[in-house]
Amino acid sequence: MIRFIETEDLLHIRNEVLREGRLTPDECRFPTDKIDGAFHLGYFVEDELVCVTSLFPQGYGTFTGLGYQLRGMATLELHRGKGYGNKLVNFAVIYLRKLGANYVWCNARKKAAKFYHDCGFEIVSDEFEVTGIGPHYVMYLKIQ
Ligand X SMILES: CC(C)(COP(=O)(O)OP(=O)(O)OC[C@H]1O[C@@H](n2cnc3c(N)ncnc32)[C@H](O)[C@@H]1OP(=O)(O)O)[C@@H](O)C(=O)NCCC(=O)NCCS
Instruction: Give every CB contact of residue 80 below 8 A, 6+ residues apart in sequence.
Output: none
| Alpha carbon distance 49, 101 (integer Å) | 27
CB of 136 to ligand X, least distance (A): 7
Q: Which is nearer to ligand X, 71 or 103 (CB)?
A: 71
Handedness of CA 104, 105, 106, 109 (dihedral sign): positive
- Please name the helix (run of DSSP H) or strand (run of DSSP E) that holds residue 96, with its range, or none: helix 84-99
Question: Of all residues in this chain, which one has the CB nearest to ligand X in the complex?
Answer: 85
CB of 100 to ligand X, least distance (A): 25
Q: Which is nearer to ligand X, 22 or 111 (CB)?
A: 111
| Alpha carbon distance 68, 121 (integer Å) | 13
Q: Which is nearer to ligand X, 34 or 114 (CB)?
A: 114
Q: Which residues bind ligand X (CB under 6 A)?
A: 17-18, 51, 73-75, 80-86, 108-109, 111-112, 114-115, 118
